Chains A and B, each alone.
Chain A
Amino acid sequence: MLEIKDLYAKAGDRDILRGISLDVAPGEVHAIMGPNGSGKSTLAQVLAGNPAYEVTGGTVTFQGNDLLALQPEERAQQGVFLAFQYPIEIPGVSNAYFLRSAFNSIRAARGQEEVDPIEFLDYMEKKLELVDMDVEMLSRSVNMGFSGGEKKRNEILQMAVLEPKLALLDETDSGLDIDALRIVANGVNALKRPDNATVVVTHYQRLLNYIVPDFVHVLAHGRIVKSGDKSLALELEAKGYDWLVEPQGAVA
């Protein structure tokens, strides 16, 4: 489904990704772990098409298409979804309108009919239950005045509405208490299907107790330095990252 080959990217003058290769097949859950500054969030942002990063080498193929040639909205329309580490506040645009615009844009791109606000509200009912959100949250401006946990739940709500093929969760666990973490993880698990895939970017093993990965990859200095199964995450929890991560000078 997703094939990343020797991917290089930079932000400004700073090289961040330095040759990442990764294959993700339908139905799989991959965890990307690594210390701060290892490039794991950048990888998620680059896949979603954040213009703040420049791809300087390598290829990314998604469902047979060149992902890097697509605009962010086209990637979303083809089924890529990024749950942001820091969801953006948009004053003046209601959550309901935003979600419906996104939903209808994606439907239109797929040649499906748009839904009206009333049909959409019906559709939303079950989605809201999934992340334990009140319908009142729909009338508020996107992420405005939301707590950290509410913002993350709102990300998962968006994911539930858009039903992506490839979900990228960028540090979705950061700043969550255990209850919120459980709600978010349950939401992600409920959306799991044999034909979609999930890439979880996280610093800590904690989230992986709830979203169990098939593969764990450790990123350091912009490269995958080790891959394994879920036991690797537990090993990292016990031993930290130092045993895998050489000082940057030694790599260069």
Chain B
Amino acid sequence: MTAPYLVDFGTLSNNGARAEPAWLRETRRDGIDRFAALGFPTPRNEDWHFTSVAAIAEAKFSPLRGATGQITQAELAPFTFAHSNWPVMVFVNGKYDASLSTPASLAKGIRAVDLSTAIREEPTLIEPWLGKVSPAEDRSFSALNAAFMSDGAVIHIAPFIEEATPLHIIFVSDSNAAKGVAHLRNLIVAGHNSKATVIESYVSLGDSGYFTNAVTEVIVEPGATLTHYKIQRESQRAFHVHTIDAKQAHDSHYVSFSFATGAALSRTNIYTNLDGEGCGATLNGLYMADDEQHVDHQTNIIHSQPNCFSREIYKGILSGSAHGVFNGKVYVYPIAQKTDGKQTNNNLLLSAGARIDTKPQLEIYADDVRCTHGATVGRLDEMALFYMKSRGVSADAATRLLTYAFAADVLETIEVQAVRSELERATLERFTGATSAL
């Protein structure tokens, strides 16, 4: 299964990667070596126990070679949260599209460059961090990404910069992405005492089958707050694997939300290391899957230092024959005293064929901590349904309304109102056909 990728790598290192800095060539070489050694993960691998990637392994996706230039602003409009004035970086079929992007509109102190330009013209923007925050030793897809990473967003937020307007990175695929794979690599460096919001959207303008293999490395320097949303609305035939690795310095806050409704098979890993005192991490998410969709989230919250808190709420709604997976680990090192951690995963199954595997885990090696976790799997509350019906609301409308309501409280945690409104609207539309707020 790995052979075609090794051939592709030979092609890459003889062509495009030849002129790259030595450190990057080495990163790529290490990546392909690790991938060759690891192969694609199998269900025997504990981290992939509930998610088979055989379909990805067997599909032999070939690297996408670039943008088609066919996508218009109008086609992107549905994905812009009704704020076309936000600065955006747009990647079409894995390649940066300067004509659709507006990094010039960024606030002073924030830089956004595409990875291929950074490699070519300004490697100092990436060299200290790239491949160092997100390890590839024991992760097949990250190793593959390291070998092939071609494009992505490189974002630097200068110290003390506070910016309320989000920076939106849109990865859009169209029919030209069919049978291709984009190995996207993003880097976000939030300088000390800065405060900013970055949104990554993975969307599709068609129903083609392609593979997104993304890695985002995040550095949150002392006292900084980074809000980082990930919106996954890939094509229903797409495959999507994305690993986000955040490293937090003291007194920093990392606020993450993952919204996932797309792809035939998706796996999102969100890992954060609270590697300094006084940090906070908030990891929330909502996944909704129908038909034969498979949606998997794995989160690791690593408490490496004392006096930090973490909060996590993930909710899932599964219907049809969909399969959801939630695997959330909170790890507390022996020195991480006074850790305050709370993790919840609630799932709603709307059909007999829907399935969820949820595995919240606490591993605590410190003795003075307050950590709780819990998971629920349920169906709609019969009494609530009866209550609504007894007021004349049809069974169908009551079901849809209660389903939306199940998701609503986690969506309410999204602080950027335009994003919250759009995701509420999308969720409401999915379950009620209505578009007005409740």
A joins B in a complex? yes
Q: Which of A's residues lie within 8 Å of B, judged by CB?
A: 48-52, 71-73, 75-77, 81-82, 84, 87-88, 90-94, 97-98, 101-103, 105-106, 109, 117, 141, 158, 162
Q: Does B416 contact A (CB under 8 A)?
A: no
Set of chain A residues within 8 Å of B394, measured between Cβ atoms: 73, 105
Please name all residues of chain B whose beta carbon is closer than 8 Å to the beta carbon of A97 when the two chains form the complex: 401, 438
* B391 contacts the other chain (CB 8 A): yes
Instruction: Show 12 A/B contacts (Cβ-Cβ < 8 Å), sorted by A.
Output: A51-B382, A52-B382, A73-B393, A77-B392, A87-B387, A90-B387, A90-B402, A92-B407, A92-B408, A93-B401, A93-B404, A117-B436
Q: How many angstroms from the CA of A76 to the CA of B390 in the assembled complex?
A: 6
Q: C-beta contact mask, B387-412 vs A, less than 8 Å → 1, else 0?
A: 11111111101100110111111000
Minimum CB–CB distance for A27 against chain B, Å = 23
Contacts of A82 in B (CB 8 A): 390
Q: Determine whether the beta carbon of A91 is less than 8 Å from that of B386.
A: no
B205 proximal to A (CB < 8 A): no
Chain B residues whose C-beta falls within 8 Å of the C-beta of A101 in the assembled complex:
388, 391, 393, 397, 401
When the two chains form their complex, are residues B386 and A105 in contact, meaning their CB atoms are under 8 A apart? no
CB-CB under 8 A from A77, the residues of chain B are: 392
Are B392 and A91 in contact (CB-based, < 8 A)? Answer: no
Q: Please tell me if the beta carbons of A92 and B392 are within 8 angstroms of each other in the complex.
A: no
Residues of A contacting B382 in the complex (Cβ-Cβ under 8 angstroms): 51-52
**Residue among A51, A52, A98 making CB contact with B391, cutoff 8 Å:** A98
A-B pair count, CB < 8 Å, reads 88
Within the assembled complex, what's the spacing in Å between the Cα atoms of A71 and B383? 15
Q: Which residue of A lies closest to B438 (CB)?
A: A97
Q: For the complex, what is the distance from the CA of A81 to the CA of B389, rounded to whole Å?
A: 11
User: How far is the CB of A91 from the nearest CB of chain B, in Å?
Assistant: 6
* A-facing residues in B370-393 (Cβ within 8 Å): 381-384, 386-393
Minimum CB–CB distance from A148 to chain B (whole Å) comes to 17
* B404 partner, pick from A49, A92, A102, A141, beta carbons under 8 A: A92
Known: A93-B438, A101-B397, A117-B436. A88 touches B392 (CB 8 A): no
Q: Is the CB of B391 within 8 A of A88?
A: no
> A72 to B390, Cβ gap below 8 A?
yes
Q: Give the CA-CA distance A141 to B392 in the complex, in Å.
A: 18
Residue from A76, A88, A105, A117 within 8 A of B397 (CB atoms): A105
A50–B401 contact, CB under 8 A?
no
In the complex, besides A73-B395, A90-B384, A103-B392, 17 extra interface pairs with C-beta distance below 8 angstroms are: A49-B386, A49-B390, A52-B382, A72-B389, A73-B394, A73-B398, A76-B391, A81-B391, A90-B405, A93-B405, A98-B393, A98-B401, A102-B392, A105-B393, A105-B394, A105-B397, A106-B392
Instruction: Report the separation of the CA atoms of residues A50 and B388 in the bound assembly, to the nearest whole angstrom.
Output: 11
Partner of B387, one of A71, A88, A91: A88
CA–CA, A3 and B402, complex, Å: 34
Across the interface, do B405 and A92 meet the contact criterion of CB distance under 8 Å?
yes
Smallest distance from the beta carbon of B254 to chain A beta carbons, Å?
26
Contacting pair A109 B409 (CB below 8 A): no
CA of A81 to CA of B390, assembled, Å: 7
Contact call A88/B408, Cβ cutoff below 8 A = no
A72 x B409 contact (CB < 8 A): no
- Chain B residues with CB under 8 Å of A76's CB are 389-392
Residue of B nearest to A77 (CB): B392
The 4 closest A-B pairs by CB, nearest first: A92-B405, A92-B408, A76-B392, A102-B391
Smallest CB separation, B331 vs chain A (Å): 31
Q: Within 8 Å CB of A94, what residues of B?
A: 438
CB distance from B300 to the nearest CB of A (A): 29
| Interface contact A51-B386, CB-CB below 8 Å | yes
CA distance A77 to B404 in the complex (A): 24
User: A50 is contacted by which of B386, B398, B402, B407 (Cβ under 8 Å)?
Assistant: B386
Interchain CA distance A162-B398 in the complex, whole Å? 17
Note all chain B residues with C-beta closer than 8 A to A52.
382, 386
Minimum C-beta distance from A234 to chain B (A): 32
Write the nearest CB–CB distance from B393 to chain A, whole angstroms: 5
Query: What separation, in Å, do the CA atoms of A141 and B412 have in the docked complex?
Result: 13
B93 to chain A minimum Cβ distance, whole angstroms, is: 38
Query: Which residues of B are found within 8 Å of A103, using beta-carbon distances?
Result: 392
- The reply to whether B389 and A71 form a contact with Cβ atoms under 8 Å apart is yes
Residues of A within 8 A of B391 (CB): 76, 81, 98, 101-102, 105, 158, 162
A27 vs B219: C-alpha distance when bound (angstroms): 72
